[in-house]
Amino acid sequence: MADFQTSTQRAKWIFTPQKLAERYKAANQRAVQILEKCGTTRVEVDASGSLTYPKEKVDAGDRADKKLKPLNVEEERFMRAFYEDKVQDVCSAFKFPHKIQATALQYFKRFYLQWSVMQHHPKEIMLTCVYAACKIEENHVSAEEIGRGINQDHLIILKYEMAVLQSLEFDLIVYAPYRAIEGFVNNMEEFLQVRDDEMLKLENLLKAATAEADIVMLTDAPLLFPPGQLALACLRIANGALGVIDFDRYLEKIVSQPNSEHTISELTELLDNIEYMIKNYKKPSEKDMKHINRKLKSCLGHSSSHDESKKREKRSKHKSHKSSSDTPNSAPIG
Amino acid sequence: MVMADLGKLNVEEPPPIWGSRSVDCFEKLEQIGEGTYGQVYMAKEIKTGEIVALKKIRMDNEREGFPITAIREIKILKKLHHENVIQLKEIVTSPGRDRDDQGKPDNNKYKGGIYMVFDYMDHDLTGLADRPGLRFTVPQIKCYMKQLLTGLHYCHVNQVLHRDIKGSNLLIDNEGNLKLADFGLARSFSHDHAGNLTNRVITLWYRPPELLLGATKYGPAIDMWSVGCIFAELLHAKPILPGKNEHEQLNKIFELCGSPDENIWPGVSKMPWYNNFKPARPLKRRVREFFRHFDRHALELLEKMLVLDPSQRISAKDALDAEYFWTDPLPCDPKSLPTYESSHEFQTKKKRQQQRQNEEAAKRQKLQHPQQQHSRLPPLQHGGQSHAAPHWPAGPNHPNNNALPQVPAGPSHHFYGNGKPRGPPAPNRYPPSGNQSGGYNQNRGGYSSGSYPPQGRGAPYVAGPRRPSGGGAYGVGPPNYTQGGQYGGSGSSGRGQNPMGGNRNQQYGWQQ
């Protein structure tokens, strides 16, 4: 049976906290080095997924030499968190089913395990992830529609699609906590042997847990824990407020099952960790972002600011394809 | 801040850690076929010497980026791991962009290639069956059928509908293993699926009545109908329901299986196209009569597969329990099957094809109404393994029409440029693949018509009528029955009706 147990998510995309920190550090370091060497970090991408890395600075006396400050790991985290939140905004604006934002968020997270935000602007990647998630979850919306809906150029979405899919190593099936939450709630029905008038309580529990899951998706937890554990943590938080079931007893029942991988104390500890991440999640404010944004802008360089390429695209469709990919290569700025 | 030339720095500064290797890790040996949406090559992994099949994903003319069908195929294949399902080994990409003819890169058209890497398989079932003089033995047929059902059962358990089961999508290696391939039309289903699915799937001859009657909610039973058609075809030594268009297809089905009514198929009268297609007078079921030469257990199983009402059709799981597989002669061990000369000799095939084109073109000009002929022999009833003289090493069933057909465009032999090489004199045994791939290009509602030169895919149709919402010139839409006749008995329209015509056109619309 193909399920989470046999999934690429389990095999490849769940990390220990140390490993995850290393990945972020390494992605950041690569960009920092490129910035030092090249004076910019932006990696150009074309629709076929081909990458163009910045070239080394030719003469050091150039004005490009002015000291550019790279983002640090923490600032990168902020940047990602800010745009992850935007993923949910976009998805709710389109009234997409829940799993789409969850899939898009996982894609976004995985993408930035390979790359620094200094190399690919998270705004563009975010949109592409939403677009790709719609495709994978069979909820297709045209790139144009997404672009129109949020006033962004849809060609950028298409331009990054290949790069995103490749960075995901084409591991497209992702598991989110939502279905697991539903599964557990169904299971609780049996566990409690609920009467009809108690069904409403479980429905409320489901709703509240789903809201917690929306938050957990914005943290690093999906890269650290399997969806079932995320689901249980969300349910436990929700149940803490609603008091629908005796959660400890329910957990005991779960770990007493023959295929359980954990003891009750292990599971409780895991859930505590997830809960900690949920409770400590803080949405970055625009104000937090201001400074970081400025830094990011200078790292990415002016050579291919989107406004510029957008103008070109408007001028002529065909020309723009050419120019947006060629100009940065051939025309030195400065 | 000068940016590097494309590709240059890619080498000096290899991309960090990301997954896809370059297609340069493989040496392309030859083209061996044409999948639903791209060419297939035989290739050798340079490092290991392993022979693989590379399936290129065509991406030009895609307004919506990476094709949804490719996404589905990748998604599904990554999920499925079974010995009777082709394994997707990895995805490789071709670095840099190919340039178009003018040497200009076009940013919105994918030119760099994406390839799926599969185990190389020597044959496909149709190619093997079509070898003149070759007879499958009964244990051999049981062996293939069992593997087919096992693989399909696994798909269904994992909530995947294949939606294009037919002989040429059943690959067979020289160890007798059969694997389901080409998941280009497959998709996941769930029992609570609220959305509608497209009924423009499955190659016409293998398409079940519910799809032909317009069903948009369906399940694994659709694949089981196709299995029934293949089963009967193996025993009967020729396709059993070679309709030329949807109407004729349904008629053939009704002539064989009887006409449906509310008694045998509750709800049939409410099917979307029931009234358009219902036969003038009731027809009797004649499966037993038609196939009276089949053995008892085979017939019994076939009867359960070719059931009109999908809800009463046998499942893959139950079919595996059928007496047929548990009575003598038992299915043989795949390893005991004879090995056949590999079928993928592109060069010889090409030559042969060229030769055939000429012959057929000449023949066609004489014969206005060529008959369908089939050179297959019925199965051997007793053990003994047949070793066919491969004087016509059956072409790999993958058509290779990546080039424009060279045949002069007479009215009735458009296809010969595309036809798969098969045992003479029935090259039209399967509708040519041009359609299949052509459907891809064609049906963009005019999108591809003007702006891109025909690329050899489906080229014969370019001049045909365009139906922006149907299958373009393919007559995919139910009310369009004009195609079949036009091509004589070539059977070509069978393929012409192939799924993606309409489906691809509307792939982002309601049809899923």
Q: Say which CATH class B21-120 falls into.
A: alpha beta
Rounded to an integer, what distance in angstroms lies between the CA atom of residue A57 and that of residue A19? 33
Quick count: other Cβ atoms within 10 Å of Cβ B10? 18
Residues from chain B that touch A9, judged by Cβ atoms under 8 A, are none
Residues from chain B that touch A134, judged by Cβ atoms under 8 A, are none
CA distance A67 to chain B (A): 13
B236-264: string of b/e by CB count within 10 Å (b at 16+)?
Answer: bbbbbbbbbbbbbbbbbbbbbbbbbeeee
Q: Is B378 helix (H, G, I), strand (E, B) or coil?
A: coil
Note whether B66 contacts A: Cβ–Cβ < 8 A: yes
Quick count: other Cβ atoms within 10 Å of Cβ A214? 18
Rounded to 5 degrees, φ, ψ at B406 are: -90, -5
Among B211, B191, B209, CA closest to B200 = B211
Residues B284-326: tens digit of each pLDDT: 999 999 999 999 999 999 999 999 999 999 999 999 999 999 9
Q: Domain limits of chain A?
A: 15-57+66-168, 177-280
Tally: H helices and E strands in chain A: 15, 2
Fold of A177-280: Cyclin A; domain 1 (1.10.472)
Most confident of the following: A187-191, B73-77, B384-388: B73-77
Query: What are the structure tokens assigned to B224, written together?
Result: 């089981």
| Mean pLDDT value across chain B | 70
Of A6, A30, A162, the CB nearest to B110: A162
CA B284 to chain centre: 31
Residues A45-72: tens digit of each pLDDT: 877 677 777 777 665 555 555 677 889 9
- On the 0-12 / 13-18 / 19+ scale of CB atoms within 10 A, A97 is middle
Residue B117: in which H helix or E strand, if any?
A: strand B114-119
**Mutation for testing the B interface, residue in A63, A170, A309 having most B CBs under 10 Å:** A170
As a whole number of Å, the CA-based R_g of chain B is 22
**Residue tagged active-site, from B122, B124, B130, B164:** B164
CA distance B68 to chain A (A): 7
Rounded to an integer, what distance in angstroms lies between the CA atom of residue A61 and that of residue B15? 29
The verdict on whether residue B317 carries a ligand-binding annotation is no
Domains A15-57+66-168 and A177-280 share a fold: yes
The pLDDT value recorded for residue A291 is 87
Can you say whether residue B151 is alpha, beta or left, with left for phi > 0 and alpha for psi between -120 and 50 degrees?
alpha
> What's the Cα-to-Cα distance from A178 to each of A9, A100, B314, rounded to whole Å?
16, 11, 34
B130 noted as active-site residue: no
Residues B187-226: tens digit of each pLDDT: 888 766 567 888 889 989 999 999 999 999 999 999 999 9
**Using H for helix, E for strand and C for coil, what is the string for B259-286?**
CCCCCCCCCHHHCCCHHHHCCCCCCCEC
Rounded to 5 degrees, φ, ψ at B155 are: -60, -50
Among B384, B325, B343, B323, CA closest to B136 = B384
The pLDDT value recorded for residue B177 is 95
Of B65, B104, B187, the CB nearest to A143: B65
Note whether B368 contacts A: Cβ–Cβ < 8 A: no
Residues B420-475: tens digit of each pLDDT: 333 333 333 333 333 333 333 333 333 333 333 333 333 333 333 333 332 222 22
Q: Say which CATH class B123-344+374-512 falls into.
A: mainly alpha
Q: Domain limits of chain B?
A: 21-120, 123-344+374-512
Fold of A15-57+66-168: Cyclin A; domain 1 (1.10.472)
The pLDDT value recorded for residue B319 is 98
Residue B53: in which H helix or E strand, if any?
A: strand B51-57
The amino acid present at B499, given as its one-letter code, is P
Q: Is the pLDDT of residue B160 over 60?
A: yes
Confidence of residue B247 (pLDDT cuts 50, 70, 90): very high
Q: Which of A317-321, B19-23, B135-139 has the lowest mean pLDDT?
A: A317-321
What percent of chain A clears pLDDT 90, i.e. is strictly above it?
A: 53
Residues A211-251: tens digit of each pLDDT: 999 999 999 999 999 999 999 999 999 999 999 899 999 99
Q: Is the pLDDT of residue B386 over 70?
A: no
Among B489, B467, B491, CA closest to B477 = B467
DSSP classification of residue B22: E
Strands B88-93 and B21-22, sheet pairing: parallel
Q: Is A111 helix (H, G, I), strand (E, B) or coil?
A: helix
